[in-house]
Structure 1
Amino acid sequence: MLRAISHLPAHHGRGAPLDTITLAHDERRLRRKLLTCAGGTEVMVDFPSTVTLDHDGALELDNGRVIAIVAAPELLYAIHASSTAHLVRLAWHIGNRHTSAQLEEGRILIKRDHVLKTMLEGLGAAVADVTEPFFAEHGAYHSHGDTGHALLAR
């Protein structure tokens, strides 16, 4: 079995990958895990501390090859507001519920949750179903995997 010895940032330039692994947001945050890639390659990840794997980054293997990392499309809500101040208010309500969010200039992305959708629509938000990779950042005070305790700007 191959072992990952490090993680490489996006656009690392280390050449063609041996294989590719597609991971959801919470799966890209890891310390120790056995991964099975699209082509069947098994890779053991055992880093000294938790890392967040970048979309278009890679795992560097003990044989010098790399495994490409792709962010998986996820079922999300795109939340739009009537103004910047309204969007900030919506972000506060999302954060108050300890929900991971991807904050952008004109929208917020969260994982689909019908209770949150109802709350946000009640606050005047326009909420649309989207399917795309999710890049919510992990909280500054958490070194473990995604527990829904993050709300940071992307």
Structure 2
Amino acid sequence: MRTIDKRVAPPAKLAASLVARAPTLTLAYGARCKSRFAAALDTGEEVGLVMPRGTILADGDVLVADDGALVRVIAAAESVLVVRARNALTLTRAAYHLGNRHTPVEIGIDYLKLEADSVLEEMLMRLGAQVERATLPFHPEAGAYGGGHRHGHDETFAEDYALAQQVFEQRHGHAHDDGHGHEHEHEHHHAHDHGHGHDHAHEHGHGHDRSHEGCDSCGHDHPHRH
């Protein structure tokens, strides 16, 4: 069995006729991420791939076997979700939530593409995106997934989604509160100034040893904030 252990970079330097005559190796995205595995060329020949660890093969890559023969990689058509939206904000939110899941995503000018996943499909539709199931080659962005990717059916999905939604809502709400929220806070903190000549609301964390001095003569409680 022949071993394939090198990738030509860049393949454009090779004569087009040589690349065109090379046997092909059709692989789905998951297989293109593996470094060592047995595969079959499209001719039916069994080969072994032994690539440097961390290699992610792409459609059109040209590989070299141990006997010097060339092999061309083809990205296999696989089950994917194609995500579009009526506006850029919705598509951006969809990309954010997928990124929060460390999901491999192919990014186009007006679409996102990811491996088919029913739970992620539901999430995207809830965000207002248009989701279409298709069978197409998958070319996700490289080098952005850290320790791997998670699908929507992972047990932490609901927690991650709820947290992401909460952060979005908090940031969205904060934008409307700016300009008057701090004003109310300052009015509240200085409410006692007019009656006693000093402020009984302690905001700066000075400790309990200073906060009760002289309070017995006032006849009422004073809030102590730390």
TM class, shorter-chain normalised?
Answer: 0.7 to 0.9
Q: C-alpha displacement at 1:107, in angstroms?
A: 0.6
Describe how 1:2-151 pairs up with structure 2 within 5 A: 2-8=2-8, 9-11=10-12, 13=14, 15=18, 16-17=21-22, 19-140=23-144, 142=146, 147-148=148-149
Comparing both chains, which one has the higher relative contact order based on Cα–Cα distances under 8 Å and sequence gaps of 6 or more?
A: 1
Q: C-alpha displacement at 1:85, in angstroms?
A: 2.1
Cα RMSD, aligned residues only: 2.0
**8 Å Cα contact 2:104-2:145 kept in structure 1:** no
Flag as ranges the 4+ runs of structure 1 deviating above 4 A. 9-12
Question: 2:205 matched to which residue of 1?
Answer: none
SS at match of 2:53: strand
Q: Could you list the per-position Cα deviations for residues 93-124 of structure 1 after superposition, in whole angstroms to 9, with x for gaps in the alignment?
A: 11122221111110100111111111111111
Give me the whole-angstrom Cα distance separating, in 2, the residues matched to 1:10 and 1:125: 37
Give me the whole-angstrom Cα distance separating, in 2, the residues matched to 1:71 and 1:25: 7
Bigger strand fraction: 1
Q: C-alpha displacement at 1:66, in angstroms?
A: 1.0
Moved more, 32-41 or 70-79: 32-41
* Structure 2, gaps ≥5 residues long: 151-226
**8 Å Cα contact 1:10-1:54 kept in structure 2:** no
TM-score scaled by structure 2? 0.58
CA distance 1:46–1:113, change in 2 (3 Å): same
Bigger helix fraction: 2
Give me the whole-angstrom Cα distance separating, in 2, the residues matched to 1:82 and 1:22: 34
**8 Å Cα contact 2:38-2:48 kept in structure 1:** yes
Kindly, what percent of the aligned residue pairs are identical? 31
Rg: which structure is higher? 2
